[in-house]
Structure 1
Amino acid sequence: MRTRNLAGLTVPAIGLGCMGMSTAYGEPDDAESTAAILRALDLGVTHFDSADVYGNGHNETLLGAALKGRRDEATIATKVGNLGRAAAPRTVDGRPEHILAACDRSLSRLGVETIDLYYLHRVDPETAIEESVGAMSRLVEAGKVRFVGLSEAGPETLRRACAVHPIAALQSELSLWSRDVEAEILPACRALGVGFVAYAPLGRGFLTGTIPALDTLIESDRRRDHPRFSADNIARNAPLVEAIRTVAAAHDATPAQVAIAWVLSRGEHVATIPGAKRRRWLEENAEAAALTLSPAEIAALEGAFPPGVAAGTRYPEKQMASLGL
């Protein structure tokens, strides 16, 4: 497994996004998820990404239990500040008192003394970023956190945060059909020496070519709320996958592996955390680390997926408004 350096924190180029093990994509299966986490360690996929909001703490508890006895092999990342779509009156809380208390709860659920990478999950519009990051810096001083990160923050917010405390990584969505960060955010990360962690590199599964219609998704699947996954937009977006299939066939690879390899081609400061809750998908994703796309193949993919090509926004309107971009 290749590695990437996130401002001093070395992680595998391909990590494991754990959200789907607890929420959003069907019913949880703790036994299979635990087996996937342990298999990930064996494959060198040792960067695990969680958040306190995933399953209302279930995800951190699951991850901590699975890693018990093998903690030293893992890089644990988790997040704070996103209270969830159903929270009221505020859905984001970046106040120092919230961050400090939430970190203790995360440590308890994970069963660890230190979190390797602690993200502010969403920028709080009611709290200055300097205050939020200042609280996270105190967690580093206390030995509860090793590295600090931000999620879904814009370039100016990132610059202000870096002035308070070193930021190891900015996490945001990046895939062939979500290329928004390429214009300003990736260059800002490079200039500031901040690593970039790409979530949803498979377009929440769409770029694998396994979601040809809305009926493919079970009733409880949260993607049904996402505009890109409406019946009409799935039909509009479906032809895009053919370009990925063409490249995959030339390498005897899968569309998922090509989609991940494209994300990793964005730069040596870019790592990715495709989600998987089953071992077979984890193994398929991990093999993408060995796939190198030619300049011509990258150009062909980008020609088929120019920025803004996807029909529908990546989140519902309310969630789009919460992104600090």
Structure 2
Amino acid sequence: MIDRQCAKLLENAQGILMEILASESDPVAIGREYTAALMDTFLGERANGVETRDCRIRTDSTEIPVRFYRRNHAAADSIGKLVLFFHGGGWSVGDIDSYDGFVRRLCAETGADYLSVDFRRAPEHKFPTAHEDCYQAAIWAFENSEALGIDPSRIGAMGDSAGAALATAVAWQIARQTNYRVNSLYLLYPFLDLRDDHEAYASRITFGDGNYLVGRAGLTAAKQWYLDDDTPTENPLVSPMFIPDLESLPPTTIITSGHDPNLDEGKLFAEKLEQSGVRVSATHFASAFHGFMPFGVLDVAGDSIRALAKAIAEQ
């Protein structure tokens, strides 16, 4: 059963959505405004003691905005770990500003440094643009680890929802194509299979009616905005559920929520990783919903971040 705090937040979120729908008709604009409003309204207390630095990573074709997070005066007690953070939002909504409060809290409470990547979004930029931006940002972090003051053997990758797919695909590509290695993955209620076969996952049927922030219609829209019609959905860079050599992935922490159309994807991916010999730590928050972790007003969000901090400390 969903807990009382979560139920109340979802009720209030519906009111926010109704206000936006009264003045906006474009679905992408609605999604972006809605995401920003939710992140701002339900963030809770802003984390203190975190310094940030914005910069732009230059590639042959673009400049990728990133934001680096480190606890104040962390040099003396730094754990030397960097976590690459790829935000969720179906590859089309969310950005480093709307996720800033969440990443600040992650930095403050987990002790790691973070590099949040403002990848180019769909539908303006189709696959593989977001993936390529995230991959290039990851390579830059490895190449500049000394300047960043981090241990290149302790670079992890994290993402929520669609961001989890980006994190997984980036870790896989780095393992296949470079001498670098992402040392850990942190997948928060991951969205890992972009096929339209919703019936393949019972959770998409049970929790996909749209009452829990994300539903089947939203998953389908995310896929349509992100992919061209001729892009194979079983490409592992699109749907990491179909990575053929899962043993190449690092130790993985997976957080799932009970009222979530993507619940069964997270569970299945954890099983497949374990069968491939990858060390997996899976934590399930039965009373929560898809996307709950940034909402600091929820007690369960704090519980999940403490679980994440424990996993990060061990890797």
TM-score interval (norm. to shorter): 0.3 to 0.5
More strand by share: 2
More helix by share: 1
- Identify which of structures 1 and 2 has the higher relative contact order when contacts are C-alpha pairs closer than 8 Å and 6+ apart: 1
Query: With structure 1 as the length reference, what TM-score do the two structures score?
Result: 0.36
Query: With structure 2 as the length reference, what TM-score do the two structures score?
Result: 0.36
